[in-house]
Amino acid sequence: MLPFFDLSLQINRFPIRSAKAALKKISNYTPAEKEIFIEQQKVAIVDFHIKNNSFYRSLVPVYPINWEALPVLNKKNLQVPLANRFSDGYTIANSYSNKTSGSSGTPFVFAKDKYCHALTWASNFMRFGWHNVDLNSAYQARFYGIPMEFLPNKKERFKDFICNRYRFPIFDLSDVVLEKILNNFKHKKFDYINGYTSAIVLFAKFLRDKNLYLNKICPTLKVCVVTSEMLFKDDKLLLETQFGIPVINEYGASEIDLIAFENAQGEWLVNAETIFVEILDHDNQVLPYGEEGRIVITSLFNKANPFIRYDIGDIGILDKKSTLAKPILKKLIGRTNDMVILPSGKKSPGLTFYYVTKSIIEDNGNVKEFVITQSKIALFEVEYVSETELDVVAIQKIQKAIDRYLEPNLKFIFYRKETLQRTNRGKLKQFTSLL
């Protein structure tokens, strides 16, 4: 008898058993065998979509073609009606479909064939299993948003039941709500935490202020997996200290799969079983390992929709010690659409400001969260949640750091808030440019 989670996937015609078997076979390949598999699968998925997908065929006028000459797709390319992007034989009825969160500012509807979606879940099972978490039986404390409309809300609640998880909606993270969350940890035997980084970090700060350690309150906890938002080194240290369990960094995209997942050795391993990741420069040229560029992903199995050389909208670096069979994500820098344009003409990732100001602001002691918005070429607005106003000394330190690391004569305006605005999914966008 299949476990309940596996059984629910099988009932919905997602072949999880065969997907798990296939993934196990791929993951057991020798490095040489895996490299051959990846190269063969790249050719096979392009060939399939050229023959069976008129949308993709229209983008590749000459075939066969060298891999590097294939078009690089982006979210705007894919914002045509889903019906126009389906491969022959695939429809809404016989595929898995969903909508991206729109955190990049460019949401769209996507589809996966059912075997591909089953592989996505098999990938989740395998990677969580690295940390002794069995998704069929482990009880999850889930820090995520949730739809407020009646039917979508009930649908998510039912999925939570199927997946054995208890959801903490994160739209209100006041101390009163955090106290209620803490009370749940006192009475429920959670096995692991999973959710948005900013919300989980805020909960850890709440525990720190109360001098509490979560593994003492909930001793069944094994691991904390953070996703969807940047995890900074000092935040990871805070989580490990206050939770008393390993903190694992996850990087994924709903339209693709888990992209990278930290292993027990602290390596942020890129998924080389179901996807192929490249780092490209502004001219779509492949960069060597160790260099910073755009993250471009190919889904090796999705036959319903073509995700071939798909620019996901993020900037990152693959470690120099990466190989085709074992790529390692060294650093995830941020989104390509979150670039700061400075008066001098210099461009920097928006998170540069976040890095520079974060430690200084948090030295204040009372600041819980903050976000930065570039409203004009030299004007930046900082909204923060704190018990007291930032003092003149803290603001002067921030200004000096900006002058030193970026350039002088940039103006910052600080606004103290009760709460910060999150997306409709509950994410906290740490930097926004209005230019």
Give 336-403 as a DSSP string.
TT-EEE-TTS-EEETHHHHHHHHHHHHHTS-EEEEEEEEEETTEEEEEEEESSPPPHHHHHHHHHHHH
Q: Residue 387 pLDDT more than 70?
A: yes
Task: Render pLDDT for 187-239 as a digit per residue (tens, 0 to 9).
Answer: 999 999 999 888 899 999 999 999 999 999 999 999 999 988 788 889 999 99
* Cα dihedral 248, 317, 28, 308 sign: positive
Token pair in block for residue 329: 């994500």
For residues 392 and 398, is the Cβ–Cβ distance under 8 A?
no
Token pair in block for residue 309: 């050389």
* Cα dihedral 391, 397, 398, 403 sign: positive
Tell me the pLDDT band of 335, cut-offs 50, 70 and 90: low
The torsion angle over the Cα atoms of residues 418, 422, 426 and 428, rounded to 10 degrees, is -100
Across all residues in the chain, what is the average pLDDT?
A: 90
Q: What is the pLDDT of residue 364?
A: 63
For residues 133 and 220, is the Cβ–Cβ distance under 8 A?
no
Q: Residue 315 pLDDT more than 80?
A: yes
- Between 50-64, 166-180, 198-212, 268-282, the lowest mean confidence (pLDDT) is in 166-180
Beta carbons within 8 Å of 253's beta carbon, 6+ residues apart: 100, 259, 297, 312
> What is the Cα–Cα distance from 154 to 146, expressed in whole angstroms?
10
Task: Render pLDDT for 349-384 as a digit per residue (tens, 0 to 9).
Answer: 676 676 677 767 766 667 888 888 999 999 999 998
Across 151-176, average pLDDT = 86
Q: What is the pLDDT of residue 205?
A: 92
Between 351 and 28, the more confident residue is 28
Across 339-348, average pLDDT = 79
Across 376-395, average pLDDT = 88
Question: Is residue 266 packed enough to be buried (19+ CB in 10 Å), middle (13-18) or exposed (0-12)?
Answer: exposed
> What is the Cα–Cα distance from 72 to 67, expressed in whole angstroms?
10
Q: What is the SS3 assignment for 70?
A: coil
Across 328-333, average pLDDT = 92
For residues 250 and 128, is the Cβ–Cβ distance under 8 A?
no
> What is the Cα–Cα distance from 20 to 11, expressed in whole angstroms?
16
Q: Residue 337 pLDDT more than 60?
A: no
Q: Residue 102 pLDDT more than 60?
A: no
Share of the chain above pLDDT 90, in %: 61
Q: What is the pLDDT of residue 58?
A: 94
pTM: 0.83
Q: What is the pLDDT of residue 216?
A: 98
| Cβ neighbour number for residue 376 with a 10 Å cutoff | 11
Beta carbons within 8 Å of 21's beta carbon, 6+ residues apart: none
Across 315-332, average pLDDT = 96
Q: What is the pLDDT of residue 431?
A: 83
Share of the chain above pLDDT 70, in %: 92
Tell me the pLDDT band of 1, cut-offs 50, 70 and 90: very low
Beta carbons within 8 Å of 424's beta carbon, 6+ residues apart: 145
- Between 18-27, 105-114, 278-287, 306-315, the lowest mean confidence (pLDDT) is in 105-114
